[in-house]
A and B are shown apart, each in its own frame.
Chain A
């Protein structure tokens, strides 16, 4: 069997919606891989060597689009010439945004994420992600290996840890990426349900290392953002899966919210609820690499309403303090004032300031949208304790792919 390396192609594409047909790329390409007709400029996947000569001169950025596809399924020139838009995928920031609670009858495509003050590129030492290997047209089939409730049985928040196995189907993933699940059946208009995206909770080598599997963290959606009853078709489908069931999976998605491979990098992680999934994946990755001389610090701020609603609460507490520093924030403890993650960051401002000062630090924020502004303010305060200008620092963090926010 071919290795997945040779079966995969990082296909170079030009975005027809952004391209202005100025001919600069065709003029620049040293090997004639770019051509055009009266409609589009296109890259021939059989010729392009990804030398990137065409990328800097392009005035629009339309040239800088890449999709990882199975080589045999690369889009040919003839098909590209007919496009008005690029095929979906690799849209920066879409990663977890669609994991939000959406009523099942909402059949509009997910809203593009609002502009976030985070980076749009991965950290310098991040591994190269594969994206969009499987689409709704050709999904991968996975088998459910387990489905475990993570939250206390007394809590009305039902969060599940679902392990999927892909057998002989290649499905390479990195921590921080997400996948889409296609729920079976059709909506009230007779159209197939949209996929919902879920963030990976396991590291790249799988929930069970060495096997072709991964884990997802899924919250059963029973109410919408406004607290009104809403039945999440996909989340309920996934939460109700039994061992041995098969599922249609698309993706993987996401090419910026990735962890650095440099073992000296510090990870500052801030999350709420199921936003803990990528943090678990990254933490587990680092835990498995402890023998490899990983020296960077791990600091986690984790918020929930109560310990009973906190996914992975038990296992997290068992991790040694020298490996990871964990700060919990509970907002609904009887008799206690409400504490949010940003409050705890503020309490730890001096220590966090030192971490922010370190060029080896990458920051990950994942959870409900409401936390974002508060967390950024708290980080700004922490920066000031070291005399750092947060605006300057934030720009540098974004530039260097070291500040990542995913909120919904």
Chain B
């Protein structure tokens, strides 16, 4: 295992200084990245000192490094988990062969596509979140936003390293293109739909980090099983950073719920109008945001029947979530899996070959994981003694991708006609008025220890610091 070189221009544990061509290529890309960060990264953040966690090694203790950093000086680098001796391809047709240290020629195009698609989401979310600093509810939250942003930046580095190292000129061109596409741009948008949506307010940000970064977790987990060993080791390391993003989302939404419940009890009301007048986000509005982010995110897993998914699996490029913990033949031939289709105005299950349904398998794993977190949000409401419960909408609700795309399905899973959908859409999804209301609450709070009225303080600070610690210093 290469030791961490933290002294060069690009911190890394891949012996970058021994591969001068690659080093030069990445050093050439670095100023382009920094220029992208300055133009598209967090707005107005260049001179701030931010209390950030920087991974300084891939060992557990390497995560314990916290200090004030100016974000453009963040040590974005290339870190791969330690290699697992004797690792094999653990699924698909190549199962049992030694894991690949180079890209197999026949899978080159598919692997590049997988890496580019993953890589594209990283800068996209930074772009989506770039204005949020102006309306942060506290210094603590501002710091968490910036931590998410720099880690997305590092994830981009992780993918760009693979492109440069293993895909030659094509890879270098793809790496440049990752900095040129732009979230929400009409002419050159990001690859996946959810990454072109706006993140207009902090409730959206927390929902995004809860749901959409959880898609990231599941994708990374599936890639961490890859037979292409450098990809597996890269994504394994990324997962620890991704976990922080989901923490920001889960705790952020939880604190908004907690604050709402507190005011509901103080005022003795569940009337959204009164709660809104009191400056908190009512639970039905939170439910509508949840419905939106849940449905947009589950589209990210792709079509429910996909020959690409089968190819990726058969070829050993992308496994299932916790592939090696599953007790089956890891080839899946002859196995079926149920997917939902619309039939005569109803949703019915339809068995398809599991290999073709692997997107659906991953989506279902994601849904289970998401629902258990929603259960933890409900415990906050329960603890406040209130009867309301949040729910994940049905898998068919508001889908734009896959066989359910053309259908109108209610959050309970009932197929509805266009007229009912049009009539009730704003019961189910945030309306312009909801967005305007939540937007109206967004004001900047930057005194240490103070929190905006619509969100409760967190239970603990970062790195055992107190909650009123000066997590960001303005210079």
Interface residues, chain A, with chain B CB atoms under 8 Å away? 17-18, 20-24, 27-28, 38-39, 52-57, 59-61, 64, 84, 115, 117, 120-121, 391, 395, 398-399
Interface residues of B (CB under 8 A from A): 60-64, 217, 239-240, 242-244, 246-247, 250-251, 369, 372-373, 376, 379, 449, 457, 459-460, 462-470
Contact flag A20-B251 (CB < 8 Å), given A61-B464, A84-B379: yes
4 pairs of A and B residues whose beta carbons are closest in the complex = A22-B243, A56-B64, A59-B244, A56-B63
Report if A20-B243 is in contact (Cβ < 8 Å); known contacts: A38-B372, A57-B60: yes
A59-B244, A115-B449 known; A20-B373 Cβ under 8 A: yes
Q: How far is the CB of B17 from chain A (nearest CB, A)?
A: 27
The secondary-structure label for the interface of chain B is helix
Beyond the given A56-B62, A56-B63, A115-B466, please list 4 additional residue pairs across the A-B interface where CB-CB is below 8 A: A20-B247, A22-B247, A23-B243, A61-B460
CB-based contact A20/B246 at 8 Å: yes
Instruction: Give the residue name and chain of the B residue nearest to A399 (CB).
Output: B465
- 28 inter-chain pairs at a CB distance below 8 angstroms, sorted by A residue, are A17-B459, A18-B459, A20-B247, A21-B372, A21-B373, A22-B242, A22-B243, A24-B239, A24-B240, A27-B239, A39-B372, A56-B60, A56-B61, A56-B62, A56-B64, A57-B240, A57-B243, A60-B251, A61-B462, A61-B463, A61-B464, A115-B449, A115-B467, A120-B466, A121-B464, A391-B470, A395-B469, A398-B466
Minimum CB–CB distance for B62 against chain A, Å: 8
Question: With A and B bound together, what is the CA distance between A60 and B459 in angstroms?
Answer: 10
Distance between Cα atoms of A55 and B467 in the complex (Å)? 19
Contacts of A59 in B (CB 8 A): 240, 243-244, 246-247
| Candidate in A17, A57, A121 with the most chain B CB atoms within 10 angstroms | A57
Instruction: Give A106 Cβ to nearest chain B Cβ, in Å.
Output: 18
A54 to B61, CA, bound (A): 9
**Chain B neighbourhood of A64, CB < 8 A:** 464
A59 to B251, CA, bound (A): 11
In the complex the two chains form, what is the Cα distance from A102 to B246 in whole Å? 41
Contacts of A117 in B (CB 8 A): 466, 468
- CB neighbours (8 Å) of B246 from chain A are 20, 22, 59
Asked whether A54 lies within 8 Å of B60 as measured between CB atoms, the reply is yes
Shortest distance in angstroms between B464's beta carbon and chain A's nearest beta carbon?
A: 6
**Within 8 Å CB of B376, what residues of A?**
17
Which chain A residues border B63 with CB–CB below 8 Å? 56-57
- Please give the distance in Å from A394's CB to the nearest CB on chain B: 10
Closest to A84 in B: B379
Q: How far is the CA of A17 from the CA of B376 in the complex (A)?
A: 8
Give A21 to B24 CA distance when docked, in angstroms.
40
Shortest CB-to-CB span from A196 to chain B, Å, is: 25
Which residues from chain B contact A395 at a C-beta distance below 8 Å? 469-470
Residue of B nearest to A53 (CB): B60
Are the CB atoms of B464 and A120 closer together than 8 Å?
A: yes
B364 vs chain A, min Cβ distance (A): 14
Residues of A near B62 (CB, < 8 A) are 56
Shortest B473–chain A CB gap in Å is 10
Decide if B239 touches A18 in the complex (CB within 8 Å): no
Q: Please, which residues of chain B bring their CB within 8 A of the CB of A24?
A: 239-240, 243
Whether A28 and B373, one on each chain, are in contact in the complex, defined by CB atoms closer than 8 angstroms, is no
Cβ-defined contact, B464 with A115, below 8 A: no
The closest CB in chain B to the CB of A398 belongs to: B466
Q: For A84, what are the chain B residues with a Cβ–Cβ distance below 8 Å?
A: 379
Q: How far is the CB of A117 from chain B (nearest CB, A)?
A: 7
Instruction: Name the residue of chain B whose CB is nearest to the CB of A392.
Output: B470
Note all chain A residues with C-beta closer than 8 A to B243. 20, 22-24, 57, 59
User: In whole angstroms, what is the CA distance A237 to B327 when docked?
Assistant: 62
Determine the distance from Cα of A125 to Cα of B467 in the docked complex, in whole angstroms. 24
**Complex: A55 Cα to B379 Cα, angstroms:** 25
**Chain A residues whose CB sits within 8 angstroms of the CB of B460 once the complex forms:** 18, 61
Chain A residue at minimal CB-CB distance from B457: A115
Tell me the nearest residue of chain B to A116, going by C-beta.
B466
Closest residue on chain A to residue B379 by CB atoms: A84
B379: A residues at CB distance < 8 A? 17, 84
> Across the interface, do B217 and A22 meet the contact criterion of CB distance under 8 Å?
yes
Which residues of the other chain, B, contact A38 by a CB distance below 8 angstroms? Answer: 372
Q: List B contacts of A121 (CB < 8 A).
A: 464
**Chain A residues whose CB sits within 8 angstroms of the CB of B242 once the complex forms:** 22
Question: How near does chain B come to A208, taking the closest CB pair, in angstroms?
Answer: 37
A70 CB to nearest B CB, Å? 27
- Which residue of chain A has its CB nearest to the CB of B369? A21
> Are B60 and A60 in contact, with the CB atoms below 8 A?
no
**Across the interface, which residues of B come within 8 angstroms of A28, CB to CB?**
60
